[in-house]
C-alpha cells in the first residue's frame, strides 16, 4: 500500500494489460516472503435459502452475514464495469495497480504465451491422446451443479460467447470468493499431495477428462495432458469416484509436514495464539464503567486455554503481571518513544508473566479490570496524552516473547494468528505515530502524514509476526480515523466505531477474539484462457509467487491474504478476451493457508459455467444480488471521500441507463428503454445503494462513512448485500415475520418492523401508550442476551399483570402494551438471531413511531408513499391485505418530503422500471 490513506484493497492484476489509465499507484512494497500457509476458515455454513420475499416464517431467515443468504442456488449477477461507460471495454482502474514499468515476474507469463484453448495441445503428448475428444469420456460427472459453492458466487451462471456482448461494463461479469468459509459438510480432506498440471499448475478436478487406460488427465485450464503416476488408471468412470478430487467440486488437501497431527480437533490447540488487550486509560467515569462491564464479560467468555495479556496506555504503558493471584500489578514503560531493546528485554526476561491462560488468570484479570480508575485531570478528552502506538509495540513484543531476537528473519510458525485488540476512546496524541491534539496545530498536516506512515508500518510489522490488530473505538471523542485505520488494515484486522463501550462494543470484543485465526493465506486464481481477471477488491494484495520452476506456464493470479476469515470476501471482475467457442469455461480457486491446528491446507474449488449465445439466456442466469454487490464494491472503491461518493451516485444512474440501452428494449414510438425484466431486482438494489449509508447522505460524519466503506470493501457477500440494501421484516401475530420490500409503506399502524441494514439494525414500533419501562427499554442500544432477558421479563411482567407495567391504565391498555412488549421482544430476538455470526456486530436500535429517531429508520426505506396506488400495490403487494381504513391511516401518517421514489428515479433516467419479479 503505497498510499496508506486509501482504505482499501483493490488492484488490477497485471497479467492483463488492463487499463493502465487512472491512479497508477506504485506497486505495493515487497511482501514478506512468507511461505504460503494460511488461515483456516471459519465456520459457516448453514445455508438457507431465504432471499425470496414475502416469506412467512422466521425460520427462513438466514443468519447473519457470515452465512449465506442467498441460497444454495447462488444468485449470480454481474458486476458492472467501470463507472464511466464511454469506453466499453476496460474495467475501472483501481489503486494498487502494479505499475506497468515494473518487471514482469516470470510466473505471470503474458497472456499471449498461454496455450491456446483448442484441443490441439494434448496431441503432442503421447499415446492415444487424440482419443480424448472421443471415446474416453468426459468428466466424471456431467451433472455437477454449476457454480454451487458457498465459497464462490458468480454474477451470472452462464457466460456469453460473444466477446462484445459479454464485456458490457455497466453490468459486467465477476465473482465473489470467500476463502475463509468452511465447507458445510465439514471439509473433505485428502491426505496426500495433489495432482497438478505440470504446465499451468491447475489441480486435477471433477471436470477433467481422464484416460482410463493410462490414468492420464487433461487439465481444464490449459488442456495439457498430465500423468497421475498410474493412480487414475481405472476400469470405469465409477471407479474414479473414490478420488475425492474427481467427485467433488471442492475439497481440501492437508499436508502434514513435520508430522503434525492434521485436523485433530484439540480444543487447546489455540493456545499458541494469544490475545493482548490494549486499553485506553484516559476514560471518563461513564465510559469506563461500560468498558469494565464489557471487559469482565469478555474474559468470562474466553476458553480456559486462551492466553491473555493486558496492557494499558495513557502517558505511559502499563503491562500487567498476571502471576499475582488476585492483585493488579503492572510494569510501567515510558510512552513518549518506542520501547528500547533493553527495556523490552528487561520486561520479557523478568519475573512477570504477561501472557497467561485464562484458567490460571481469570481472577486476576477481573481484579485488574475492577481496579481501573477514571481519568482524573481536568483535560478535555481529545487532548489527553495517549501513547497508543507505543502500547501496541509493547504488546507485539510480549507476543513474540524471548525468542523474538533469536529468530530474526525467521518466520515463526504458530497455530493461527495472535491478536491485539485495541480499545480506544480517543486519538493517539503521545509518542510515536501521534498527532497534535488540535487540528489547528501548525504542523498538523505533516504530523498526520508521518503518523499514518508509522501506523501502517507497525501494522505490517504485526502482520509479519502473524498478529492481527483490531481497533475497536467508542465514545464521542474523535479518534482520528485516518491515522488509526492503517494500523488495523495493514495487519489484516478491522477498525470499528461504536457509540459507547456498552453492549455492541462488548459483543464485538468477544467476536473479534473468537474469529478463527489461520495464517499465511494465499489465494490462487485460474481461469480458462479466454477469461481474464481485470480487478480484485478485498483484504489482500497481489503477490508474486515464482512457481516457474515447477509449472512453466503458470498464469495464475496470486493474492496474499492479510488474514483468512469467514466474514471476508474478494470480488473479482472478469472479461472475456475473445469470442468463446467451447461449451464451457472453467474457474479454479485454490486457497492455501495454515489452519488453527497448524496444518497446511490447500482448498481447491473448481467451477464450470456453460457458455451461451443468447442474451436472454444469459440475462436469465444473472444473479441480481451478487451482481449488485459486485457493482457496489467497484463503485465504493472509487468513493474515497465525500465528493467522490456524490460523483459515484451519478455513475449508478449512468449504469442503469446503459444496462437498459444495451440489454433492454426500446418502447415503440418513444425514446424510453425498458429495463431488462430478467434483472428486475437489480435497479432497486442499486437505488438503495445510492441512498444508503455507503453513498447517500445518511451518515453524518465522513469518518464514519469511510469506516463503513472499508468494512464493505472486504465484507462477505451476506454482509455486503445487507449494507447495500436493507432487509425488512414485519412482525406478525404469533411471533412470525413476513419479509417485505424495504419501502416506507411498511410503516403501518399496529406494525412492528425489523430493518436489517448490515451494520445497523432498527426496530420500529407503533405503540399507543408506552409505559416508562418500555420507553426506557426502547431507547437502549441492545446487542446481547441480557437485554433479551429484559425483553422476556417485560413480556412476562405484562402477562402476569405486573403492577408497574399496568399502572394507572385500564385493562385494555395493558393488553395493548402486552402486545407491544411481546412484539418488541420478538423483534429483538429476531435482530439478534439475524446477526448472530456477524462481525462486526451491528448496533441495534429501537424506536417508536413519531420519535425523532424514527428518521434513522425512514431514511433507509424507499419512499413510495407518493406513488399512485397501482404502482404501490405492484411493488408492495402486502398493501392489498390492508383494510381501506388502514390504508387511509397509512397515507395520512407520511410527512411529505422531496426524495424521489424508485419509479420516479427510474423514469427520470428515461428508463421504464421492470415489473417486480
Ligand atoms: Zn494446465
Residue 415, C-alpha cell as written in the block:
497455530
Q: How confident is the model at residue 854 (pLDDT cuts 50, 70, 90)?
A: confident
The terminus-to-terminus CA distance of the chain in angstroms comes to 43
Distance from residue 243's CA to the centre of ligand 1 (Å): 19
Confidence (pLDDT) at 403: 58
Task: Decide: 462 and 511 in contact? Cβ < 8 Å.
Answer: no
pLDDT of 808 over the 50 cut: no
640 is a domain residue: yes
689 is a domain residue: yes
910 is a domain residue: no
User: Which of 400, 466, 460, 459 is CA-nearest to residue 598?
Assistant: 466
Q: How confident is the model at residue 193 (pLDDT cuts 50, 70, 90)?
A: confident
Rounded-to-10 torsion of CA 798, 802, 808, 812? 30
Task: Decide: 632 and 712 in contact? Cβ < 8 Å.
Answer: yes
- The answer to whether residues 541 and 629 belong to one domain is no
Distance from residue 528's CA to the centre of ligand 1 (Å): 10
Q: Where are the beta strands (DSSP E) in 165-220?
A: 173-177, 189-190, 209-211, 216-218
Phi and psi, residue 170, nearest 5°: -65, -30
What is the three-class DSSP state of 645?
helix
Q: How confident is the model at residue 41 (pLDDT cuts 50, 70, 90)?
A: very low
pLDDT of 99 over the 70 cut: no
Distance from residue 205's CA to the centre of ligand 1 (Å): 11
> Domain boundary at 581, 601, 622, which?
622
> Domain boundary at 467, 495, 514, which?
514
- The answer to whether residues 459 and 350 belong to one domain is yes
Q: How confident is the model at residue 783 (pLDDT cuts 50, 70, 90)?
A: very low
- The answer to whether residues 505 and 543 belong to one domain is no
Distance from residue 907's CA to the centre of ligand 1 (Å): 49
Confidence (pLDDT) at 767: 62
Distance from residue 556's CA to the centre of ligand 1 (Å): 10
Cα separation of 526 and 196, whole Å? 13
Angle between helices 444-464 and 481-491 (to 10 degrees): 20
Cα separation of 629 and 62, whole Å? 17
pLDDT of 40 over the 50 cut: no
Distance from residue 334's CA to the centre of ligand 1 (Å): 57
- The answer to whether residues 888 and 766 belong to one domain is yes
Distance from residue 119's CA to the centre of ligand 1 (Å): 13
As a whole number, mean pLDDT of residues 326-334 equals 85
> Alpha carbon 461 to chain centroid distance?
23
Mean of per-residue pLDDT scores for the chain? 78
Distance from residue 467's CA to the centre of ligand 1 (Å): 36
User: What CATH number should be reported for the domain holding residue 583?
Assistant: 2.60.40.1670
Distance from residue 219's CA to the centre of ligand 1 (Å): 5
CA quadruple 239, 240, 242, 248: dihedral positive or negative? negative
Task: Decide: 509 and 480 in contact? Cβ < 8 Å.
Answer: no
Distance from residue 518's CA to the centre of ligand 1 (Å): 29
User: What CATH number should be reported for the domain holding residue 286?
Assistant: 3.40.50.410
Distance from residue 226's CA to the centre of ligand 1 (Å): 8
* Lowest mean per-residue pLDDT among 86-95, 569-578, 708-717, 772-781: 86-95
Where would I find the H helices in 739-835?
Answer: 772-779, 785-799, 803-806, 811-834
Distance from residue 156's CA to the centre of ligand 1 (Å): 25
Q: What global pTM score does this model have?
A: 0.80
More confident residue, 97 or 769: 769
Computed over its alpha carbons, how large is the radius of gyration of the chain? Answer: 28
- The answer to whether residues 172 and 187 belong to one domain is yes
Confidence (pLDDT) at 517: 58
Cα separation of 381 and 851, whole Å? 31
As a whole number, mean pLDDT of residues 565-573 equals 91
Distance from residue 667's CA to the centre of ligand 1 (Å): 48
Distance from residue 223's CA to the centre of ligand 1 (Å): 6
* Lowest mean per-residue pLDDT among 257-271, 737-751, 807-821: 257-271
CA 754, 760, 761: angle at the middle one, nearest 5? 15
Q: How confident is the model at residue 349 (pLDDT cuts 50, 70, 90)?
A: confident
Distance from residue 36's CA to the centre of ligand 1 (Å): 21
- The answer to whether residues 742 and 885 belong to one domain is yes
Confidence (pLDDT) at 376: 93
Distance from residue 216's CA to the centre of ligand 1 (Å): 13
User: Which of 461, 443, 451, 586 is CA-nearest to residue 525?
Assistant: 586
494-534 pLDDT, tens digit per residue, is: 999 999 999 899 999 999 988 765 678 899 999 998 999 99
Distance from residue 553's CA to the centre of ligand 1 (Å): 8
Residue 264, C-alpha cell as written in the block:
485433530
Domain of residue 770, residue span: 727-860+864-898
Distance from residue 46's CA to the centre of ligand 1 (Å): 33
- The answer to whether residues 526 and 660 belong to one domain is no
904 is a domain residue: no
How far are the Cα atoms of 251, 381, 507, 508 from residue 503, in angstroms, in the given order? 39, 22, 6, 9
Q: Where are the beta strands (DSSP E) in 475-597?
A: 495-498, 519-527, 531-537, 540-542, 557-561, 570-576, 584-594
Cα separation of 191 and 179, whole Å? 20
Distance from residue 716's CA to the centre of ligand 1 (Å): 30
pLDDT of 474 over the 90 cut: yes
Query: In the chain, how many H helices and how many E strands?
Result: 24, 31
88 is a domain residue: no
Per-residue DSSP letter, 754:
E
Task: Decide: 339 and 393 in contact? Cβ < 8 Å.
Answer: yes
Distance from residue 531's CA to the centre of ligand 1 (Å): 15
Distance from residue 429's CA to the centre of ligand 1 (Å): 54
Of 30-44, 349-363, 505-519, where does the model show the most confidence? 349-363
Residue 576, C-alpha cell as written in the block:
472475456
User: Which of 196, 187, 193 is CA-nearest to residue 255?
Assistant: 193
878 is a domain residue: yes
Distance from residue 30's CA to the centre of ligand 1 (Å): 28
Q: What percent of the chain is modeled with pLDDT above 90?
A: 53
Confidence (pLDDT) at 917: 66
CA 615, 605, 267: angle at the middle one, nearest 5? 140
Number of domains in the chain: 4
Distance from residue 197's CA to the centre of ligand 1 (Å): 5
More confident residue, 191 or 332: 332
Confidence (pLDDT) at 819: 79
Confidence (pLDDT) at 847: 83
Give Dmax over CA atoms of the chain in angstroms.
Answer: 94
- The answer to whether residues 491 and 590 belong to one domain is no
Distance from residue 210's CA to the centre of ligand 1 (Å): 14
Distance from residue 552's CA to the centre of ligand 1 (Å): 10
Distance from residue 590's CA to the centre of ligand 1 (Å): 14
User: Which of 830, 818, 810, 767 is CA-nearest to residue 794?
Assistant: 818
- The answer to whether residues 286 and 355 belong to one domain is yes
- List, as one string, the DSSP characters of 72-112: SS---------S--SSSSSPPP-TTPPPTTSPPPTTS--GG
- List, as one string, the DSSP characters of 261-284: -SS---GGGGGGS-EEEEEE----
Distance from residue 253's CA to the centre of ligand 1 (Å): 19
As a whole number, mean pLDDT of residues 386-410 equals 78
User: Which of 532, 651, 527, 652 is CA-nearest to residue 163?
Assistant: 532
Distance from residue 204's CA to the centre of ligand 1 (Å): 9
Distance from residue 157's CA to the centre of ligand 1 (Å): 23
User: What CATH number should be reported for the domain holding residue 706?
Assistant: 1.20.120.730
231-289 pLDDT, tens digit per residue, is: 999 998 888 988 989 988 888 888 754 434 434 333 344 445 799 999 999 999 999 99
581-614 pLDDT, tens digit per residue, is: 999 999 999 998 887 666 788 899 999 999 999 9
- The answer to whether residues 312 and 389 belong to one domain is yes
Distance from residue 201's CA to the centre of ligand 1 (Å): 6
> Domain boundary at 514, 530, 564, which?
514
pLDDT of 890 over the 80 cut: yes
Distance from residue 914's CA to the centre of ligand 1 (Å): 43
**HSE-up (13 A, CA, CB side) for residue 648:** 28
Distance from residue 441's CA to the centre of ligand 1 (Å): 59
481 is a domain residue: yes
As a whole number, mean pLDDT of residues 710-737 equals 93
Distance from residue 587's CA to the centre of ligand 1 (Å): 12
pLDDT of 755 over the 90 cut: yes
Task: Decide: 336 and 344 in contact? Cβ < 8 Å.
Answer: no
CA quadruple 773, 774, 776, 781: dihedral positive or negative? positive
Distance from residue 79's CA to the centre of ligand 1 (Å): 27
746 is a domain residue: yes
Q: What percent of the chain is modeled with pLDDT above 70?
A: 73
- The answer to whether residues 348 and 424 belong to one domain is yes
Distance from residue 78's CA to the centre of ligand 1 (Å): 27
- The answer to whether residues 827 and 807 belong to one domain is yes
Amino acid at each position: 500500500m503505497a498510499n496508506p490513506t486509501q482504505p482499501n484493497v483493490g488492484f488490477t492484476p497485471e497479467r492483463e494489460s488492463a487499463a493502465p489509465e487512472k491512479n497508477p499507484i506504485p506497486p505495493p512494497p515487497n511482501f514478506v516472503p512468507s511461505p504460503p500457509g494460511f488461515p483456516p476458515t471459519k465456520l459457516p455454513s448453514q445455508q438457507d435459502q431465504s432471499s425470496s420475499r414475502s416469506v412467512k416464517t422466521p425460520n427462513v431467515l438466514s443468519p447473519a452475514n457470515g452465512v449465506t443468504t442467498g441460497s444454495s442456488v447462488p444468485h449470480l449477477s454481474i458486476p458492472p464495469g467501470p463507472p464511466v461507460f464511454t469506453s466499453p471495454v476496460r474495467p475501472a482502474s483501481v489503486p494498487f495497480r502494479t505499475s506497468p514499468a515494473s518487471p514482469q515476474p516470470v510466473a505471470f507469463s503474458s497472456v499471449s504465451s498461454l496455450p491456446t484453448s483448442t484441443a490441439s495441445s494434448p496431441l503432442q503428448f503421447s499415446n492415444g491422446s487424440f482419443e480424448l475428444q472421443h471415446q474416453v469420456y468426459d468428466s466424471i460427472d456431467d451433472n455437477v451443479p454449476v457454480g454451487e459453492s458457498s465459497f464462490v458466487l458468480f454474477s451470472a451462471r452462464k457466460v456469453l460467447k460473444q466477446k462484445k456482448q459479454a464485456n458490457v461494463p455497466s453490468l459486467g461479469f465477476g465473482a465473489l470468493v470467500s476463502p475463509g468459509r468452511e465447507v458445510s459438510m465439514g471439509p473433505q480432506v485428502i491426505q496426500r499431495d495433489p495432482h497438478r498440471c505440470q504446465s499451468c499448475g491447475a489441480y486435477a478436478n471433477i471436470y477433467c477428462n481422464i484416460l482410463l487406460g493410462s490414468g492420464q488427465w487433461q487439465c481444464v485450464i490449459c488442456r495439457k495432458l498430465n500423468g497421475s503416476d498410474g493412480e487414475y488408471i481405472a476400469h470405469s468412470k465409477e471407479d474414479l469416484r473414490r478420488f475425492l478430487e474427481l467427485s467433488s467440486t471442492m475439497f481440501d488437501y492437508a499436508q502434514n509436514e513435520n508430522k503434525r497431527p492434521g485436523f485433530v480437533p484439540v480444543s487447546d490447540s489455540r493456545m499458541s495464539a494469544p490475545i493482548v488487550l490494549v486499553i485506553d486509560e484516559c476514560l471518563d467515569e461513564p465510559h469506563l464503567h461500560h468498558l469494565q462491564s464489557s471487559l469482565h464479560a469478555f474474559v468470562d467468555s474466553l476458553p480456559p486455554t486462551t492466553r491473555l495479556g493486558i496492557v494499558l496506555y495513557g502517558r505511559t504503558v502499563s503491562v500487567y503481571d498476571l502471576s499475582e493471584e488476585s492483585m493488579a500489578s503492572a510494569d510501567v514503560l515510558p510512552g513518549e518513544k518506542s520501547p528500547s531493546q533493553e527495556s523490552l528485554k528487561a520486561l520479557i526476561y523478568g519475573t512477570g508473566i504477561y501472557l497467561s491462560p485464562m484458567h490460571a488468570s481469570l481472577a486476576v484479570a477481573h481484579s485488574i479490570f475492577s481496579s481501573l480508575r477514571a481519568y482524573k485531570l481536568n483535560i478535555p478528552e481529545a487532548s489527553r496524552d495517549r501513547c497508543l502506538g507505543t502500547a501496541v509495540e509493547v504488546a507485539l513484543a510480549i507476543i513474540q516473547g524471548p525468542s523474538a531476537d533469536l529468530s530474526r528473519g525467521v518466520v515463526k510458525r504458530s497455530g493461527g494468528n495472535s491478536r491485539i485488540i485495541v480499545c480506544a476512546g480517543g486519538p493517539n496524541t503521545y509518542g510515536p505515530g501521534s498527532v497534535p491534539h488540535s487540528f489547528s496545530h501548525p504542523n498538523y498536516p505533516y504530523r498526520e502524514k508521518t503518523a499514518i506512515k508509522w501506523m501502517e508500518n507497525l501494522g505490517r510489522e504485526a502482520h509479519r509476526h502473524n498478529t492481527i490488530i483490531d481497533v475497536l473505538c467508542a465514545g464521542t471523542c474523535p479518534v482520528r480515523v485516518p491515522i488509526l485505520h492503517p494500523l488495523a488494515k495493514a495487519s489484516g484486522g478491522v477498525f470499528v466505531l461504536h457509540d459507547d463501550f456498552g453492549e455492541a462494543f462488548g459483543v464485538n470484543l468477544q467476536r473479534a477474539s473468537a474469529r478463527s485465526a489461520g495464517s499465511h493465506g494465499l489465494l490462487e486464481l485460474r481461469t480458462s484462457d479466454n477469461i481474464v481477471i481485470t480487478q480484485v477488491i478485498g483484504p489482500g494484495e497481489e503477490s508474486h509467487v515464482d512457481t516457474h520452476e515447477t509449472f512453466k506456464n503458470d498464469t495464475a493470479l496470486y493474492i496474499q491474504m492479510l488474514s483468512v476469515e469467514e466474514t471476508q470476501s474478494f470480488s473479482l471482475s472478469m472479461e472475456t478476451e475473445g469470442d468463446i467457442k467451447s461449451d464451457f469455461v472453467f474457474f479454479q480457486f485454490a486457497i492455501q493457508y495454515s489452519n488453527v491446528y497448524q496444518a497446511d491446507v490447500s482448498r481447491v474449488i473448481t467451477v464450470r459455467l456453460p457458455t451461451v449465445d443468447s442474451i436472454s439466456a444469459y440475462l436469465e442466469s444473472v444473479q441480481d444480488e451478487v451482481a449488485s454487490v459486485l457493482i457496489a464494491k467497484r463503485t465504493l472503491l472509487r468513493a474515497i471521500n465525500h465528493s467522490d461518493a456524490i460523483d459515484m451516485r451519478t455513475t449508478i444512474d449512468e449504469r442503469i441507463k446503459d444496462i437498459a440501452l444495451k440489454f433492454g428494449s426500446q418502447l415503440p414510438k418513444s425514446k424510453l428503454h425498458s429495463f431488462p425484466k430478467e434483472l428486475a431486482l437489480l435497479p432497486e438494489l442499486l437505488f438503495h445503494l445510492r441512498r444508503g449509508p455507503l453513498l447517500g447522505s445518511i451518515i453524518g460524519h465522513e469518518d464514519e462513512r469511510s469506516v463503513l466503506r472499508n468494512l464493505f470493501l472486504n465484507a462477505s457477500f451476506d454482509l455486503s448485500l445487507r449494507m447495500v440494501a436493507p432487509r425488512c421484516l414485519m412482525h406478525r401475530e404469533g411471533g412470525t415475520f413476513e419479509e417485505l420490500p424495504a419501502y416506507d409503506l411498511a410503516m403501518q399502524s399496529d406494525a412492528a418492523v425489523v430493518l436489517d441494514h448490515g451494520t445497523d439494525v432498527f426496530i420500529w414500533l407503533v405503540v399507543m401508550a408506552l409505559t416508562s419501562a418500555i420507553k426506557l427499554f426502547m431507547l437502549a442500544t441492545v446487542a446481547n442476551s441480557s437485554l433479551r432477558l429484559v425483553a422476556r421479563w417485560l413480556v412476562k411482567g405484562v402477562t402476569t399483570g405486573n403492577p408497574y407495567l399496568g399502572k394507572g391504565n385500564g385493562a385494555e391498555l395493558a393488553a395493548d402494551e402486552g402486545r407491544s412488549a411481546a412484539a418488541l421482544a420478538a423483534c429483538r430476538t429476531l435482530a439478534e438471531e439475524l446477526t448472530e455470526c456477524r462481525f462486526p456486530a451491528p448496533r441495534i436500535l429501537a424506536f417508536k413511531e413519531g420519535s425523532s429517531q424514527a428518521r434513522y429508520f425512514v431514511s433507509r426505506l424507499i419512499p413510495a408513499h407518493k406513488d399512485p396506488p397501482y404502482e404501490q400495490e405492484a411493488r408492495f403487494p402486502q398493501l392489498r391485505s390492508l383494510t381501506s381504513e388502514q390504508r387511509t391511516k397509512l397515507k395520512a401518517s407520511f410527512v411529505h418530503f422531496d426524495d424521489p421514489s424508485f419509479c420516479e428515479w427510474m423514469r427520470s433516467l428515461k428508463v421504464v422500471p421492470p415489473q417486480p419479479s
